[in-house]
Amino acid sequence: MEGLVKKMLFVLWYQFEPEHAHQVLELWKHFQYPSDVKIHHRYLLLGRHMSVAVFEAPDERSILKITAPFSSYGVAHVAPAMPLEEAVKTV
């Protein structure tokens, strides 16, 4: 099918310094994801100063649009992911 873009699944975990917690939470409140990104889940890991998001995106460029606004407050880690059931079938 032409024009159909297959999106990749990603897991983002973002660890921020405790002194930046207020700024990070305020930024999350107003943050707009790029239109080509579909968010599945977002979490705040209590007591860990870390947020986690599971999302679909067409490529790695979308990740930069998500992580760049937060870069002065902490470190973002992103990994491509695959549903376990799908991974087991491909091995």
Residue-wise pLDDT for 39-78, tens only, equals 999 998 888 888 999 999 988 788 888 899 999 999 999 9
In the chain, where the domains are located: 8-90
User: What are the tokens at 72?
Assistant: 């002065």
Q: Please state, as a whole number, how many other Cβ atoms lie within 10 Å of the Cβ of residue 10.
A: 20
Q: Which CATH superfamily is domain 8-90 in?
A: Dimeric alpha+beta barrel (3.30.70.1060)
**pLDDT one-digit tens code per residue, 77-91:** 999 999 899 889 987
